[in-house]
Amino acid sequence: EIVMTQSPATLSVSPGERATLSCRASQSVDSNLAWYQQKPGQAPRLLIYSASTRATGIPARFSGSGSGTEFTLTISSLQSEDFAVYYCQQHTVWPPGYTFGQGTKLEIK
Amino acid sequence: QVTLKESGPALVKPTQTLTLTCTVSGLSLSGTRVSWIRQSPGKALEWLARIDWDDYKFYSASLKTRLTISKDTPKNQVVLTMTNMDPVDTGTYYCAQIGCSGGSCFFDDWGQGALVTVSS
């Protein structure tokens, strides 16, 4: 099973600043990588798929990059509503399988 | 607009079987894939199972002996059963529609989640 490791576990950033979240795969996942945002008491929301494509309705301040084993989610100018937990997720094509990272909590500095 | 809604018991006893239902609106199960994902309190997300439009089924390797996923296409419902429940299975269970782009698949739309507590 492919293991996804996110860093840091907690990131403290001030509103208006840039946040950079990392996700590493234990083996190559090509570009089969998605990012989700989860707020307390809510289901996760898809932000990015195929490593760098924004999902429908996601603001342009969210961007994803990377391929293979190293991936990054960047939020260019943090808004108050962006403070949440972020998860990365990989997709294994065959046999189908999905694993998530343990999450990065983005908190207000 | 696609919506998914989970339903099932909030409390099950250890060793019992859990049955959860996901009711999908806004698209037909005859043209999509649906998965179940769970989240233990304060923990990360764990993929459990997937069912495709052609009734192909896939399971988490670590839980496959306990899981069964099925669908009722006319009712637009996906059902997950998990046997031999244990307190460590306590958590929120989500169903989600899978979207794919090229060879990359992801969880596009999610239900609100169903909180399941396992306790005697």
What are the tens digits of pLDDT across the range B1-31? 999 999 999 999 999 999 999 999 999 999 8
Tokens of B26: 């806004």
Residues B42-63, mean pLDDT to the nearest whole number: 94
pLDDT band at B42 (very low <50, low <70, confident <90, very high): confident
What single letter denotes the amino acid at residue A25? A
Residues A21-49, mean pLDDT to the nearest whole number: 97
Count Cβ neighbours within 10 Å for each residue of B4-42 and write b for 16 or more, e otherwise: bebebeeebeeeeebebbbbbeebebeebbbbbbbbeee
pLDDT band at A95 (very low <50, low <70, confident <90, very high): confident
User: Does the structure show a pLDDT above 90 at A39?
Assistant: yes
User: Does the structure show a pLDDT above 90 at B119?
Assistant: yes
Distance in angstroms (rounded) separating the CA atoms of residues B100 and B106: 6
What pLDDT is recorded for position A94? 85
What DSSP designation does B95 have?
E
CA separation (Å) from A103 to A39, A73, B70?
12, 12, 30
Distance in angstroms (rounded) separating the CA atoms of residues B92 and B74: 27
Interchain proximity A96–B46, CB inside 8 Å: no
Q: Is A30 part of the contact surface with chain B (CB cutoff 8 Å)?
A: yes
Among A93, A98, A102, A105, pick the best mutation site for testing chain B contact (most B Cβ within 10 A): A98
Distance in angstroms (rounded) separating the CA atoms of residues B81 and B21: 9
Give the residue from chain B lying closest to A4, CA to CA: B44
pLDDT band at A93 (very low <50, low <70, confident <90, very high): confident
